[in-house]
Amino acid sequence: MARQLLSTVPHLLLLLLLVILGTLVRYAPRTPFDPVISGALIVALALPSFYHLSRSEGVQRGIALAIGLSLLSMSVEAIGVVTGVPYGWFHYAEAIGSAAIGPVPWTVGFAYVPLLLGTTALAGRLLPYHSLATRVAASALLLVAVDLVLDPGAALLGYWVWSEQGAYYGIPLSNYLGWFLTGTLYSALVFITVRHPLPLETAWSLLLITCFWTGVALGAGMLVPILIGAGIAAFSGAVLLRKGLWFRQSPG
């Protein structure tokens, strides 16, 4: 047990580093390389979830699922930017990469799909004997909770811009209704499509991303996102630690 606890120290330090990075990123000087740096970070944080998806489903199927989910979510985002449905009126800035599908940057798939995979992995593994509807709802609600942390910070950093200021740190309620709707549909699709329940390791990217955006909220003094982010990180981290799954390879 002592050896296992000791082995988690580097991983806890990594999480702390991401929180610190998020705290400081708002104050970093702007450079022409910001889109490249942002894109590299987004991809790096996404890789653990894609890796464990491929370990669970097989490389070819895992890659196909990741690409399919990315293209689907980006297409829905493109519709949302053009029509205002289902999130409300907003547009992306160039800070997170160039447009790939309509006005949607190429990084969006890398940013969103790991969150979806993480929430479905947690819901599927922690509620294995519950109905599909219950697991889908749990995954969708957890996605909304993550966006309560992510969206205020991303808007603050200028990754996207809302046409009208909403009540929650400038984010409109319609955004979270849209996240619940799309999260429900995407979660159901994942549960139906995967051949095996996603391993809990797939939630590793969710934990990394949450720590970074909790740091952004901390740097901006956003109390509610800080508390929600800390809760999600503590919950998902405790699940991974309890199961001894930090960086352990999932079965092929």
pLDDT in tens, 25-38: 999 998 999 999 99
Q: What is the pLDDT of residue 243?
A: 64
DSSP state of 166: B
| Percentage with pLDDT > 70 across the chain | 93
Amino acid identity at 218:
L
Confidence of residue 4 (pLDDT cuts 50, 70, 90): low
> Which position has the higher pLDDT, 221 or 243?
221
Above 80 in pLDDT, residue 248? no
Non-local CB neighbours of 71 within 8 Å, separated by 6+ positions: 101, 109
Which residues are bridge partners to 166 per DSSP?
170
pLDDT in tens, 165-200: 999 999 999 999 999 999 999 999 999 999 989 999
Q: Report the distance separating Cα 85 and Cα 105, nearest Å.
A: 18
pLDDT in tens, 218-237: 999 999 999 999 999 999 99
Q: What is the pLDDT of residue 6?
A: 54
Above 90 in pLDDT, residue 46? yes
Average pLDDT, the chain: 93
Of 136, 114, 126, the residue nearest 186 (C-alpha):
136
Omega before residue 225 within 30° of 0, cis: no
Confidence of residue 245 (pLDDT cuts 50, 70, 90): very low
Of 250, 121, 146, 157, the residue nearest 208 (C-alpha):
146
Per DSSP (E only), the strands in 75-179 are 90-92, 99-101, 104-105, 160-162
Q: Report the distance separating Cα 84 and Cα 99, nearest Å.
A: 18
Residue spans of the domains in the chain: they are 32-243
Q: What is the pLDDT of residue 94?
A: 87
Above 60 in pLDDT, residue 2? no
Largest CA distance in the chain: 55
Q: What is the pLDDT of residue 252?
A: 41
pLDDT in tens, 67-106: 999 999 999 999 999 999 999 999 999 889 999 999 999 9
Of 174, 157, 24, 218, the residue nearest 165 (C-alpha):
174
Q: Report the distance separating Cα 47 and Cα 204, nearest Å.
A: 10
Q: Report the distance separating Cα 143 and Cα 120, nearest Å.
A: 9
Strand 99-101 vs strand 104-105: parallel, antiparallel, or unpaired? Answer: antiparallel
Non-local CB neighbours of 202 within 8 Å, separated by 6+ positions: 48, 49, 52, 53, 56, 117, 118, 120, 121, 250
Q: Backbone phi, then psi, for 168, in 5-degree steps?
A: -100, 90
Q: Backbone phi, then psi, for 161, in 5-degree steps?
A: -130, 130
- Residue 223's alpha-carbon distances to 20, 141, 144, 145, 149, in angstroms, are 16, 20, 17, 14, 10
- What is the SS3 assignment for 65? helix
Q: Report the distance separating Cα 49 and Cα 55, nearest Å.
A: 10
